[in-house]
Amino acid sequence: MGGLITAVALAAALAAGPLDGRTVVLDPGHNGGYSDRINREVHVGGGMYKACNTTGTSTNSGYPESRLNFTVAREAARILRERGARVVLTRRSNTGVGPCITRRAAIANREGADAAVSIHADGGPAGGRGFHVIRPTLIEGLTDDIYAPSRRLGRVMRSEFQAVTGLPRSTYAGGDGLVARPDLGGLRLADVPAIFVEMANMRNATDAARVKSPRFRKRLGRGIADGVTRFLSG
């Protein structure tokens, strides 16, 4: 019943063009290329330093996370723009390196994003399946301003992403598909509602076969777009 009500409400919201005037920043995680420059340390708030960026994971057959993230981000952006949103991506191509994680957060803050979603896939244990959403923990002076709306964004994303993709909630990450973490620079530095989506476990054979399908990648994009849409329509 809850699912039906949700679907009806979402359909009504879509017909009304719910995202007019809203801004969404999508961050396709990592970089298509590699340079030593991505290893330099950047300050992610509260005295913590992290690498500017990392290379990300891949399937065992070599399909890289950075390309998956970029493809899904573009599909999600296309759908969100159709619904009236202004969408900004933190990188424009899947070649080269950059920007650093600090800059990606700054883009979302500068654009005054109503929602910021960093799009990733995990390199977890081979026996573990599924997706999880990461929200910020409460850190005084860093995430206290965005803690509550980010938690709501995370919850809404978890249910919409699962409904659209049919992927299970992570069997290995804990948290019933919604994990709070204190250490991600993109969440520590965000001044707007922000989450990460770890769409699947690329090191698991079943998940890897799904994400290598172009049709399924479109579905991943729609899952993210629907999560953002329902968050901004609620």
Tell me which residues are annotated as active site: 198
CB of 20 to Zn ion, least distance (A): 31
Alpha-carbon distance 184 to 44, whole Å?
A: 8
Nearer to Zn ion, 56 or 227 (CB): 56
Nearer to Zn ion, 173 or 232 (CB): 173
CA distances from 131 to 12, 170, 180, 185, 193 (A): 27, 5, 14, 20, 20
Q: Which residue is nearest to Zn ion (CB)?
A: 120
Nearer to Zn ion, 91 or 120 (CB): 120
Alpha-carbon distance 59 to 206, whole Å?
A: 11
CB of 221 to Zn ion, least distance (A): 16
Of 95-103, 118-126, 158-166, 167-175, the segment contacting Zn ion by CB under 5 A is 118-126
CB of 56 to Zn ion, least distance (A): 4
The helix, strand and coil proportions of the chain, stated in percent and rounded to the nearest 5, come to 40, 20, 40
Q: Supply the DSSP string of 149-166, one letter for each residue.
A: HHHHHHHHHHHHHHHHH-
Of 29-37, 70-78, 91-99, 148-156, the segment contacting Zn ion by CB under 5 A is 29-37
Nearer to Zn ion, 18 or 29 (CB): 29
CB of 120 to Zn ion, least distance (A): 3
CA distances from 76 to 94, 142, 180, 196 (A): 16, 28, 24, 14
Contacting residue, 104, 120, 129, 188, with Zn ion by CB under 5 A: 120
For residue 150, the one-letter residue type is: S
Alpha-carbon distance 13 to 189, whole Å?
A: 31
Site for Zn ion in 49-68 (CB under 5 A): 56
CB of 57 to Zn ion, least distance (A): 6
Alpha-carbon distance 69 to 42, whole Å?
A: 22
Q: Does 29 bind Zn ion (CB under 5 A)?
A: yes
Sign of the CA dihedral with 97 first, then 101, 106, and 112 last: positive
Of 9-17, 26-34, 95-103, 152-160, the segment contacting Zn ion by CB under 5 A is 26-34
Contacts with Zn ion by CB under 5 A lie at 29, 56, 120
